[in-house]
Each structure stands twice: as C-alpha cells, then as structure tokens.
Amino acid sequence: MANGWSTKRVLITVRTYPVPAHRGIEVSCTAGVTSDGNWIRLFPIPYRFLNPDQRFTKYQWIEVDATRARGDARPESYTLRIDTIRRCELIGSAQQWRARKDLILPLRRSSLCEIASDRKAGGSTLGIFRPASITRLAITPAKPPYWTPQEENLLRQQLLGFETASRTPLEKIPVEFRYQFRCAETTCNGHRIMCTRLIPLAALQDSDRHAGRPIKTSRNSRTQPRFGFDPPALDIDQPGTTG
Ligand SMILES: [Zn+2]
C-alpha cells in the first residue's frame, strides 16, 4: 500500500469515552494489540458515527488501513481510514479470560514506574501492568459536570461524510474516576490516574454507591477536561490522564 499505509490487524483492548474535538467531531481514543504483538493507538475514531457493522467491541479483532500519525511522536500512534474498518472475530472471556490473557499478557510490564521510565527515554507509551496495591478509587464531580457552550457547538456540527448518522446527543459523564495505587518498586511514590474508558451507564449511575462512600470534591481535580486531537487518555505516565 502506498505512502506508508498498510492493513493492520488489531485486537481492540481500550476504548475511551468520546470527547468533543476541535474539528467538529466527537472522538474516542482506541488502543489495542496488533497481530504481530505490538501496542497500537488508533485515533481519531468517531465511534458513534460508524456504520453499525463497523462498531467493534473490546476484545474484538478488526482490520483497518492505517499509517503512522503525523505530529505525534509516540511510537504506537496511527491514523486510520475509517471506511476500511472491518470487524473480525471476538475473543471470549471463558476460563477466566484465558484466550484474552494469552494475547495480552506477553506485553505485561513489571510496573507503571517501569513503563513511565521507558516513555521518558523515548520508548513505549502504552502498557499493561498489575499494581502492587490499590489504595483508593476516588470519584469526584466533573468540573463542570456539563458540556461548555463551546463544546456543545462542536458537538452540533455536521460531520462530513456522516450526515445521515443518528445524532443522539453525547452525554457528558458528570463524575471523574481516579485510581490511586503503588508499584512494587521501593522508589515508587504512588500514582493517581484517571480512568476514561467507556463505562456502562448503569455502573455510572450507581457509581457513588459502588464506591461505598458519597462523592467528594478533590482539591487536586483538574478544572477542565482536555480536548482536541492530542489524545490524552492513554498517556500512561501523566497522573490524571490515563485510560
Ligand atoms: Zn510506580
């Protein structure tokens, strides 16, 4: 395929909640593992505007034409041709995710500290790890809990090529979820990262009850979510931005 484009076969493992972006399109950041065992970030994907037969789920293989993302130095970042997305087989969760683990765990790293160190050295910016201990799941009100007028304007814009798509308004999640945890390394100062993956609505509505405590305002909460074509949700070493 010309000009750096190639067909990638990708097992989708991450899909973030959509956000308004500056070109009049709501986008999700999506990541997965390629058939040759490497992480890949696919962005932007206007997921809710895809044809129904293109709307993949997590742990489903897809095939898509992609090329390295311009202006994004992260080694896993690719842009894609939306109309080439083709859904393939779904990997089930039988036997405690055995088939999924076989595909994902070879990429496992020892800690977030290790992944962060790698990233600072110009290496990978996506990773999977198991925290040594999780100290808290903090659920705080989003600030603001609604779209700003500017964001609403972006969401109302007609998306070229998707004029016939359903335009059910995108709801903003009114709360933010952050995990606090530590790695096994003695040098770990602890981490506090935001969870921005897609959450079932029922879980969201019950989120304060699931956390076992009322929603509290965090002094350290960001005052504004970050929008745009720089996908922040998967920057694994930046507290508050991890998906
Ligand atoms: Zn750490």
Report every protein residue that has its C-beta within 5 angstroms of ion ligand 1: 112-113, 183, 188
Answer for the pair 70, 43: CB distance below 8 angstroms, yes or no.
no
What is the whole-number distance in angstroms between the Cα of residue 192 and the centre of ligand 1? Answer: 10
Most confident of 50-54, 215-219, 228-232: 50-54
- Range scoring the smallest mean pLDDT among 38-52, 146-160, 166-180, 211-225: 211-225
What is the whole-number distance in angstroms between the Cα of residue 185 and the centre of ligand 1? Answer: 7
Per-residue pLDDT for 175 more than 90? no
Q: What are phi and psi of 208, to 5 degrees?
A: -70, -35
Q: What pLDDT is stored for residue 2 in this prediction?
A: 66
Per-residue pLDDT for 222 more than 90? no
What is the whole-number distance in angstroms between the Cα of residue 100 and the centre of ligand 1? Answer: 25
For the chain, the domains span: 6-108
What is the whole-number distance in angstroms between the Cα of residue 133 and the centre of ligand 1? Answer: 10
H, E, C per residue of 4-17:
CCEEEEEEEEEEEC
What is the whole-number distance in angstroms between the Cα of residue 156 and the centre of ligand 1? Answer: 41
For residue 242, give both structure tokens. Answer: 């991890």
Write out pLDDT tens, residues 121-146: 989 999 999 999 999 999 999 888 88
Q: Which CATH architecture has domain 6-108?
A: Beta Barrel (2.40)
State the pLDDT confidence band at 205, using cuts at 50, 70 and 90.
very low
For 88-124, b/e burial (b = at least 16 CB within 10 A) is eeebeeeeeeeebeebbeebebebbbbbbebbeeeeb
What is the whole-number distance in angstroms between the Cα of residue 22 and the centre of ligand 1? Answer: 33
Instruction: Return d(Cα 54, Cα 47) in angstroms, integer.
Output: 9
What is the whole-number distance in angstroms between the Cα of residue 235 and the centre of ligand 1? Answer: 15
Residue type, 149: P
